[in-house]
Amino acid sequence: MGIKYISSLNEHILVETAFDEGREIGGAQAISDGYDWSLMFGLNVADGYSEEQIGSELVRRLLDRLSGQHVFVCTDAEHLSLYEELGFLRSKTSFTYTAHEPEEETAWQKASGYYLPEGYRFEYEFYNEKPVIGAARTHTASEGDVVYTDTLDGVDYNELNTVLSAAFGGHERDPKVSEDVFRHSQYVSLAYVNGRLAGMARAVSDKVSHALILNVAVDPSYQGLHIGWNIIVHLSEQLKGQNIFLNTHPGAVGFYNRKGFRRNKTALVHNPASMPDDISRKFHLPKGYRFPDEY
């Protein structure tokens, strides 16, 4: 008898389960905003069964269901190749929010090799040591002027889309997509200054153990007033007790590469489209890259 795989949906969590003669022998899960980004977690294969075969099939099946999206996973050094073989690339730009963790790393964290040292920089980095923050600022706001909320109640999605488009630049976003990805996120944090939306972030989460922060954005006219950092703090407060990940871009690495965050060593991303090599090396380690302690 062969191994049987079943796909299911547990509330908003995509689940893949492997069975042998009716006995559960493996599984993997993912959460998604339904459009752009997803977080894969919980891959497990019972002792005596091939991780390479069954684990890969579980991940492959989730990838099929998440087709067209970026898929983030944080694994351990032992399983890097399993993901690399399926087209995942090791991320240079992902972080874990560790402000809720004790100052002193636990023995487990040290041994796991999950984090790079605080403030770690790769040989090839693509962010400025002294970025010009707030260059486009036209507003001032003291701490007391900013109101942070954790709900989408009353939000104007056109305004939200305008702030997202202005912060990330490049192209005008589709307001319906911006609305959908925020509605499909289990947690949000929004900042208002005098009733005007100044910034936001969202997170997809299984609401128990894993969360991925997305779309951290502050209107350029309000940047450099610590609104972005406070949004992260407010969002993370709601996620307390979970593993809080985020994957950013090279230009924002400097924003996160400080106390409160630790750079991930074993995070990987599966992108919906390939990038030119010169861009990819700003985001990813070369396929098969291993740190000296991973050999």
Ligand X SMILES: CC(C)(COP(=O)(O)OP(=O)(O)OC[C@H]1O[C@@H](n2cnc3c(N)ncnc32)[C@H](O)[C@@H]1OP(=O)(O)O)[C@@H](O)C(=O)NCCC(=O)NCCS
**CA–CA separation, 178 and 176 (whole Å):** 5
Q: Select from 176, 226, 287, 290 the one that contacts ligand X (CB under 6 A).
A: 226
**CA–CA separation, 271 and 231 (whole Å):** 26
Binding of residue 167 to ligand X (CB under 6 A): yes
Cross-strand partners of 188: 202
E-only strand ranges, 62-209: 70-74, 89-90, 94-97, 146-149, 187-193, 196-205
**CA–CA separation, 53 and 38 (whole Å):** 23
Residues 70-99 that bind ligand X (CB under 6 A): none
Q: Select from 119, 251, 272, 286 the one that contacts ligand X (CB under 6 A).
A: 251
Binding of residue 157 to ligand X (CB under 6 A): no
DSSP 205-266: E-SSSEEEEEEEEE-GGGTTSSHHHHHHHHHHHHTTTSEEEEE--GGGHHHHSSTTEEEBSS
On whether the CB atoms of residues 94 and 37 are closer than 8 A, the answer is: no
- Tell me the pairing of strands 37-45 and 70-74: parallel
Q: Select from 115, 254, 270, 282 the one that contacts ligand X (CB under 6 A).
A: 254
Is 144 buried (19+), middle (13-18) or exposed (0-12) by CB count in 10 A? Answer: exposed
Binding of residue 229 to ligand X (CB under 6 A): yes
Residue closer to ligand X by CB (options 113, 224) is 224
Give the binding range for ligand X (CB under 6 A) out of 17-25, 144-152, 225-233, 272-280.
225-233
Of the candidates 250, 4, 244, the one whose C-alpha atom is nearest the C-alpha of residue 124 is 250
**CA–CA separation, 194 and 196 (whole Å):** 5
Q: Select from 197, 211, 227, 268 the one that contacts ligand X (CB under 6 A).
A: 227
Binding of residue 211 to ligand X (CB under 6 A): no
Binding of residue 191 to ligand X (CB under 6 A): no
Minimum CB separation of residue 127 from ligand X in Å reads: 6
Give the binding range for ligand X (CB under 6 A) out of 23-31, 68-76, 116-124, 213-221.
213-221
Q: Select from 120, 168, 289, 291 the one that contacts ligand X (CB under 6 A).
A: 168
Minimum CB separation of residue 139 from ligand X in Å reads: 12
Give the binding range for ligand X (CB under 6 A) out of 84-92, 146-154, 215-223, 270-278.
215-223
Binding of residue 193 to ligand X (CB under 6 A): no
Q: Select from 69, 98, 248, 264 the one that contacts ligand X (CB under 6 A).
A: 248
Which amino acid makes up residue 247? Answer: N
Site size with ligand X, rule: CB under 6 A: 20
Residues 116-155 that bind ligand X (CB under 6 A): 127, 131, 133
Residue closer to ligand X by CB (options 37, 115) is 37
Residue closer to ligand X by CB (options 122, 255) is 255
H or E, element range at 56 = helix 56-65
Q: Select from 34, 42, 113, 224 the one that contacts ligand X (CB under 6 A).
A: 224
**CA–CA separation, 30 and 18 (whole Å):** 15
Q: Which residues bind ligand X (CB under 6 A)?
A: 127, 131, 133, 167-168, 216-218, 223-229, 248, 251-252, 254-255
